[in-house]
Amino acid sequence: MTLPLEGIKVLDMSRLAPGPHCTMILGDLGADVLKIEEAGPISGRRAEQAGAAGANQPGIRAEANPFDALERNKRSIGLNLKLPEAREIFYRLVKDSDVVVEGFRPGTTKRLGVDYETLSKLNPRIIYCAITGYGQTGPYATLVGHDINYISHAGALGVIGNKGGKPVIPQNFLADFAGGGMHGAIGIMAAIIARQKTGRGQMVDISMMDGVMLVAASMLSSYFRERTITPRGEWYLTGQLPHFDVYECKDGKYISLGSLEPWFYANLCRAMGRDDFIPHQNTTGAKREEIRAYFAQQFKTKTRDEWFDILAQTDICVGHVYSLDELESAPQVKARNMVIYLDHPKLGKVAQVGIAPKLSDTPGKVRGFGPALGQHTDEVLRGLGHSPAEITKLRAAGAVK
């Protein structure tokens, strides 16, 4: 069966989460992703700054990790792009590729001679996606950072947290994956479609800060309209409403309620045996806290799954708050194949997250585990016409791994 991005060749120079997440999406949909990995330990300014911490080098892989979904459906070649011999190999790969993905600080790839301006002269059809914290322009373009910093500048961190408390740091889903990886994949696929019309590739400038602001478009739209700032923890979707909150049950597990619409709220009140609460959906103050206290007391009388079975019988927005160890047996997760099992020659069945976009005619597919660093170096170089002797010479020079 044909995969939707079959025939699209991607060179992935990225290291940390956003870029690999982006190319995982492309690979799941059929793209041929070749990782261009650092051929050896870090050096230069990074090594000097790291000092004694140099042994812990995020983004530098050695062994294959069969459980790492971000690296699946990819091949790997180790190239030291600081050496001209390695750059020449990369240039030859670019001439026969469709997409380049990188996540370096702006200016880095220009110093290495692998920036968009250089590569587009070699291949005018190349689509070059740079995923960075703040994009290629602006006063913070070269500022270092991580997810926590990008969501700070996007306004998201400032609204996450409890009433009267400090901002609460979420997992790195917002900037790294939603703001960076997903928006990178969207931008690349849009550029592929545009290339079909224009015949030319283009630069795709992805800022994780920009992406987070787009994810928060609804919240920002409300602010732009009202020009009022809702204090942290007082947004109506952050637990201020007793019917849109999380409650602990008898077994110590939690259940989530999301009964915003009046009809869902009324159904919830009836199911909880308190029809008298129905007129008070939008109440505040003591009455709101009375409703919350009643719900909290009632949910402690049954287990989470018992309450779900009761509330799910009618139109009530309710959900199990699953822990990670419950996902594999969760009925909806199983029905949607969002935990899949792959056969590994040494480990047997290996679990990975499934493929989210469900295409009816050309679905995605996990075709292979993530590679070890340089696992496909010889294969790629042979494909470029290098002899075994030439490959040995390149490896001895430190140009490849």
Distance CA 288, CA 239 (A): 12
280 is catalytic: no
For strands 74-79 and 254-257, give the pairing.
Answer: unpaired
* Dist. CA 3–CA 357, nearest whole Å: 12
Residue 155: C-alpha distances to residues 45, 237, 386 (Å): 32, 16, 51
Distance CA 210, CA 60 (A): 27
Taking alpha carbons only, the member of 257, 275, 274 closest to residue 315 is: 257
Q: How far is Cα 102 from Cα 13, in angstroms, rounded to an integer?
A: 5
Choose, from 12, 28, 115, 176, the residue flagged as catalytic: 176
State whether residue 84 is helix, strand or coil: helix
The C-alpha atoms of residue 19 and residue 63 are separated, in whole angstroms, by 19
Burial-class residue 209 by CB neighbours within 10 Å (0-12, 13-18, 19+).
buried
The catalytically annotated residue of 68, 146, 205, 280 is 146
Tell me if residue 376 is catalytic.
no
- Count of other CB atoms within 10 angstroms of residue 96: 11
Q: How many other CB atoms are found less than 10 A from the CB of residue 237?
A: 12
Paired sense of beta strands 32-38 and 348-353, if any: unpaired
Which neighbouring-strand residues pair with 254? 248, 321
Q: How far apart are CA 8 and CA 91, in angstroms?
A: 17
Query: Contact, 318 vs 311, CB < 8 A?
Result: yes
| DSSP symbol at 98 | S
Six-digit token string for 127: 């689509």
Q: In 285-371, where does DSSP find H-type helix?
A: 285-299, 304-311, 331-335
Give the contacts of 55 (CB within 8 A, at least 6 positions apart). none
Q: Is 364 exposed, middle or buried (0-12, 13-18, 19+ CB in 10 A)?
A: buried
Q: Known catalytic residues? A: 146, 176
